[in-house]
Amino acid sequence: MDIHEYQAKELLSSFGVNVPRGGIAYSPEQAVYRCSELSGERWVVKAQIHSGARGKAGGVRICSTEEEVSDAASWMLGRKLITHQTGPQGKLVSRLYIEEATNIAQELYLAFVMDRKLERVVVVASAQGGMEIEEISEKEPESIVRSVVDPAVGMQAFQAREIAFSLGLDAALIPQAVKTITGCYRLMEEKDANMVEINPLVVTGSGEIVALDGKLSFDDNALFRHPKISELRDKSQEDPRETYAEDRGLNYIGLEGEIGCIVNGAGLAMATLDMIKQSGGEPANFLDVGGGASPERVLMSFKAVLNDKNVEAVLVNIFAGINRCDWIAEGVIRAVKELELTLPLVVRLSGTNVEEGRKLLSESGLNIATADTLAEAAELVVGAWKAAKAN
């Protein structure tokens, strides 16, 4: 789960990381009011969406009059901001964060990520911040510092100091840098974050280290341990298809294609996506119905899949071990009837109670194509989809 920048900054601040003062605004009027609260001469108006690269898309504006603040706020609020991270549909701006402007002397990059191979948290830092890490690794690869954290001891001050020195920071800045680095690590560990990224982390004109931006991402599977963080979830920033499925306990990931998929087991689901592609189609989603799926759960899966308006054909692929093919068939039949499904539908059943399942389907009198193997099922559904499209 991702959270907004202002929420990330509040958390970072509670772990001892310096952040600029700021306040949230939902209207241009509130934005101007925030400026008077903050006082000062320059403010930054920042669109709060779950995406980076807002600056290039007009979502970060430095202003020196209240009129500029009001104009920037009017422009951003209600707009779907399109960055190269949001996809072409963009993300809706409904909150702004208004901050006192910071006088930047140097922009650094600092991130904490999970390295799956090492099974460790790795700190990635660079003295060339401001641009994205992909760009840094292209343009200034030798500036990137990597440091692996030993989970048994966590981030120690000496290791943080080492990182700060390799960034070429002035000796006077080292204590602040150490506080920032150890604070981020404690946050990551205590709150089960997957990622902490501060870009840019800046050195100000007056010699302070401040997090000007903040991105935090949390492990969904650990959110139950952090109710306060769960509350920060903003569903308006998430893929509505995934939110719908997740709220119903389904393991679903939205994709770009037209063939909706209902499969049991993550491995078989992945293989199914591959087979659809190999047959010349594009999957619309990944969906694992899980083991022991009841007819109700199958019906719910259909709802989640059909909730995506791009879906033009559906493939059900079940290899029943814990599952029961007759239950699956029952669920399929209910879905076709209750949802008045007219799209091409292919069902492949195999395993426990397969005969009963197939019998139910064939006796239903519904227009359901069946297949014996995964390859056959993929061919069938892509063929049916193409035929329907041609009509």
Q: Is 37 annotated as a binding residue?
A: no
Q: Which of 22, 28, 130, 344 binds ligand GDP (CB under 6 A)?
A: 130
**Torsion, Cα of 63, 65, 69, 72 (10° steps):** -60
Q: Is 26 a catalytic residue?
A: no
- Which residue type is seen at 382? V
- 109 flagged as catalytic: yes
**Residue 44 touches ligand GDP, criterion: CB under 6 A:** yes
Site for ligand GDP contains 101 (CB under 6 A): yes
Q: Report the 3 state secondary structure along 31-68.
A: HHHHHHHHCCCCEEEEECCCCCCCHHHCCEEEECCHHH
Q: Is 71 annotated as a binding residue?
A: no
Only segment of 52-60, 266-274, 351-359, 372-380 that touches ligand GDP (CB under 6 A): 52-60
Q: By CB under 6 A, is residue 133 in contact with ligand GDP?
A: no
- The answer to whether residue 48 forms part of the interface with Mn ion (CB under 5 A) is no
Rule CB under 6 A: say whether 104 interacts with ligand GDP.
yes
Piece in contact with ligand GDP (CB under 6 A), picked from 26-34, 49-57, 240-248, 255-263? 49-57
Is residue 214 within 8 Å of residue 232, measured between CB atoms? no
Locate the DSSP E strands across the chain.
22-25, 43-47, 60-63, 80-81, 91-92, 96-100, 104-115, 120-126, 144-149, 193-204, 209-211, 215-218, 251-254, 259-263, 285-288, 313-320, 345-351, 369-371
Cβ atoms of residues 77 and 29 within 8 Å: no
Check binding of 53 to ligand GDP (CB under 6 A): yes
Among all chains, which residue has been given the structure tokens 């969906």?
A: 287
Q: Which helix (H) or strand (E) holds 189?
A: helix 174-190
Selection from Mn ion, ligand GDP, none that 388 binds (CB < 5 to 8 A by kind) is none
Task: State the Cα–Cα distance between residues 381 and 272, nearest whole angstrom.
Answer: 11
Give 130 or 357: the residue with its C-beta nearer to ligand GDP.
130
Q: Is there binding between residue 257 and ligand GDP (CB under 6 A)?
A: no
Whole-angstrom CA distances from 121 to 117, 159, 271 are 11, 13, 30
- Taking CB within 5 to 8 Å according to partner kind, which of ligand GDP, Mn ion, none is near residue 54? ligand GDP
Radius of gyration of the chain (CA): 26
Least distance to Mn ion, CB of residue 221, Å: 27
x/- site string to ligand GDP, residues 191 to 210, per CB under 6 A?
Answer: --------xx----------
Q: Which string of DSSP letters, residue by residue, matches 76-112?
A: HTT-EE--TTT-TT-EE---EEEEE---EEEEEEEEE
Catalytic residue, from 109, 185, 244, 252: name it: 109
d(C-alpha 201, C-alpha 310), whole Å: 41
**E strand or H helix that includes residue 157:** helix 157-166
Binding flag, residue 5, Mn ion (CB under 5 A): no
222 binds, among ligand GDP, Mn ion, none (CB under 5 to 8 A by kind): none
User: Residue 123's binding partner, choosing from ligand GDP, Mn ion, none, with beta-carbon cut-off 5 to 8 A by kind?
Assistant: none
Q: How many residues bind Mn ion (CB under 5 A)?
A: 2
Task: Tell me: is residue 107 an annotated ligand-binding position.
Answer: yes
Strand partners, 115: 120
- 212 is a site residue for ligand GDP (CB under 6 A): yes
CB of 193 to ligand GDP, least distance (A): 18
Q: Report cis status (omega within 30 of 0) of the bond before 200.
A: yes
Q: How far is the CB of 152 from Mn ion (least distance, A)?
A: 32
Point out which span in 62-70, 76-84, 205-213, 242-250 binds Mn ion (CB under 5 A): 205-213
Name which of residues 181 to 200 contact Mn ion (CB under 5 A). Answer: 199
Residues labelled catalytic: 109, 197
Provide the annotated binding site.
46, 99, 102, 107, 199, 213, 264
Q: Give the footprint of Mn ion on this chain (CB under 5 A).
A: 199, 213
Q: Give the footprint of ligand GDP on this chain (CB under 6 A).
A: 44, 52-55, 60, 62, 101-102, 104, 130, 199-200, 212-213
